[in-house]
Amino acid sequence: MKFEMMNEAEVKIDGEKISMRTKGGTNLFNGVSGTWKNTNFPFYYARIQGDFMVCSNITVDFQAVYDLGALVVFENENKWIKFAFENSDMGVPAIVSVVTRDTSDDCNGEPIQNDSVWLQICRQGSVFAMHYSIDKQNWKLARICRVDMQEEIMVGISVQCPTGNQCMAVFDELEIKDNLYEDIRNLKVKESDG
The answer to whether residues 11 and 22 touch, using CB atoms and an 8 Å cutoff, is: no
CATH number for the domain harbouring residue 112: 2.60.120.200
**Would you list the DSSP string of 5-30?**
EES--EEEEETTEEEEEEETTB-EEE
pLDDT for the residue numbered 190: 79
Tally the residues of the chain.
194
CB burial of 157-186 (b: ≥16 within 10 Å; e: otherwise) equals bbbbbbebebbbbbbbebebeebebeebee
The per-residue pLDDT for 184 is: 97
Domain that residue 168 falls in: 4-183
**Is position 19 within any domain?**
yes
DSSP string computed for 59-126: EE---STT-EEEEEEEEETTEEEEEEEEE-TTSSEEEEEEEEESEEEEEEEEE--SSEEEEEEEEETT
Domain count, the chain: 1
Q: pTM for the whole thing?
A: 0.96
User: What 8-state DSSP symbol labels residue 34?
Assistant: S
Which of 136, 127, 120, 119 has the alpha carbon at shortest distance from 51? Answer: 127
Q: Does 194 fall in a domain?
A: no
Residue 177, domain member (yes or no): yes
Of residues 162, 159, 160, the one with CA closest to residue 25: 162
* pLDDT averaged over 10-residue windows placed end to end, the chain, 194 residues: 95 97 98 95 98 98 98 98 97 97 95 96 98 97 98 98 98 96 93 62
CA-wise closest residue to 65 among 159, 158, 163, 160: 163
Query: What is the pLDDT, as a whole number, of residue 192?
Result: 67
Give the Cα separation of 103 and 133 in Å (integer): 28
Structural domain contains residue 38 = yes
Q: Classify residue 171: in a domain, yes or no.
A: yes
pLDDT score of 191: 76
Q: Which residues pair with 23 in a beta bridge?
A: 166
For residue 190, being part of any structural domain is answered with no
Residue 191 belongs to some domain of the structure = no
Q: Is residue 57 part of a domain?
A: yes
